[in-house]
Amino acid sequence: MTLPRRMGMTAGAALLLVLAVLAGICIGETAIPLGTVWKVMSNRLWGAGHAVDPIDGGIIWAYRLTRALVAGACGAGLAVCGVILQSLLRNPLADPYLLGISAGASTGAVLVTVAGVGAGAISLSAGALGGALLAFGLVAVLAKAAGGGAGTRGAGQIILAGIAGSQLFNALTSFIITKSASAEQARGILFWLLGNLSGVRWPDVWVAVPAAVLIVIVAAVHNRALDAFTFGAESAASLGVPVRRVQAVLIVATALATAVLVSVVGSIGFVGLVVPHAARFVVGVRHARLVPAAALIGAVFLIAVDVLSRILVQGQVLPIGVVTALVGAPAFALLLIRGGARR
């Protein structure tokens, strides 16, 4: 790609992201005019000193902007994690939760909120992060013990270990809920598990955005290595890729990023599985283009879905994980059909 063309694409992507965030700010139960958004943003960013309604200011800055930023970060981060795992493990069904992370996070969250572990000193997010990392650690140890490592066989072992770990932690979660949760608590947990952006504030932005940016950078740095896995791990090795190191670095990075994102917003499904495929339909399988495309599509998609989840049912916010699948599945079906026709 020529330099001017690449700069054009980057500018276009940035513009699209800004537009999505603006839409996330303006649209909601009360619509906010763009003019007001502009005034609040310029007050905040460079102290322009416009007169604005403090309530509008609060909604825009503390509520809707943070929400849109976290949604964008999660969308981009999960989509790129999906790209990495699908390419590395040579499995189109791989998603970021494959490594037991979402199951572990739910166990951690339930332990904190229902079983009262930590006696209130540990937040739900911290519990979820702890559970996610513990589950991934277990899956990694199991995969290694089962002979996973370099080679295509290693990929199979990681997937199977992930399934075993997920089942175990899901069972633990159900066990704790049925043993000690009230119906109200169970509902709250279910809501959290399906993804929830309502409590998001600035501290969450400072956790989610760096996690997403880091995983996108890690993936971009490894784009050629990921390409080399096209014909399997052994072929990658014969092309000079240090397979074991690349697998270890990428899987650990993916697990950490996913665990952090899940601890902030719960396990939003669908994005990490399907956005990578949608991105492949649009830009092809080479990672130099696939990684940025998946990040952009994931971010814009999740911001848009968050807006929908707020306005779809009057006076009620739907769990975002429900809406991602409700909106995303038909959209993806359309892409599949068109992609099939093109062939």
Partner 1 sequence: MIRISGVGWRTKGTHIVRDVSLTVSQGQRFGLIGPNGSGKSTLLRLIAGLQTPTSGQVRLQGKTLAELGRRGIARRLAFVAQAAETADRITVRDAVGLGRTPWLSALSPWSAEDDRIVTEALAAVDMARFDRRDWMTLSGGERQRVHIARALAQRPQILLLDEPANHLDIHHQLSILRLIGDLGLTTMIALHDLNQAMECDRLGVMHKGQLIATGTPAEVMTPDLLARVFGVRIRELVDPVDGAKVLRFHEIC
**Which residues contribute to the site for partner 1 (CB under 8 A)?**
90, 92, 221, 224, 227-228, 230-232, 234-235, 237-243, 280, 284-286, 343
Give CA–CA dist 132/137, Å, rounded. Answer: 9
Residue 266 main-chain phi, psi, to 5 deg: 85, 180
Which residue, 172 or 241, is less far from partner 1 as judged by CB?
A: 241
Which residue, 2 or 178, is less far from partner 1 as judged by CB?
A: 2
For 145, counting Cβ atoms within 10 Å of its Cβ (0-12 exposed, 13-18 middle, 19+ buried), the class is exposed
Per DSSP, what are the bridge partners of residue 316?
313
Which residue, 236 or 304, is less far from partner 1 as judged by CB?
A: 236
The long-range contacts involving 166-175, CB below 8 angstroms and separated by at least 24 positions, are: 166/97, 166/98, 166/100, 166/102, 166/103, 166/135, 167/103, 168/103, 168/138, 169/100, 169/103, 169/104, 169/106, 169/107, 169/131, 169/135, 170/103, 170/106, 170/107, 172/107, 173/103, 173/106, 173/107, 173/110
Smallest distance, partner 1 to C-beta of residue 92, A: 7
Smallest distance, partner 1 to C-beta of residue 89, A: 12
Smallest distance, partner 1 to C-beta of residue 147, A: 12
Which residue, 77 or 276, is less far from partner 1 as judged by CB?
A: 276
Smallest distance, partner 1 to C-beta of residue 328, A: 21
Which residue, 141 or 334, is less far from partner 1 as judged by CB?
A: 334
Burial 46-68 (b: 16+ CB within 10 A, else e): eeeeeebeeebbebbbeebbbbb
Which residue, 94 or 172, is less far from partner 1 as judged by CB?
A: 94
The 10 Å Cβ neighbour count of residue 245 is 11
Name which of 298, 302, 320, 333 is nearest 81 in CA terms. 298
Which residue, 28 or 151, is less far from partner 1 as judged by CB?
A: 151
Smallest distance, partner 1 to C-beta of residue 233, A: 10
Smallest distance, partner 1 to C-beta of residue 100, A: 25
Which residue, 48 or 285, is less far from partner 1 as judged by CB?
A: 285
**CA 131, chain centre distance (Å):** 17
Smallest distance, partner 1 to C-beta of residue 226, A: 11
The 10 Å Cβ neighbour count of residue 116 is 11
Smallest distance, partner 1 to C-beta of residue 20, A: 28
The 10 Å Cβ neighbour count of residue 338 is 10
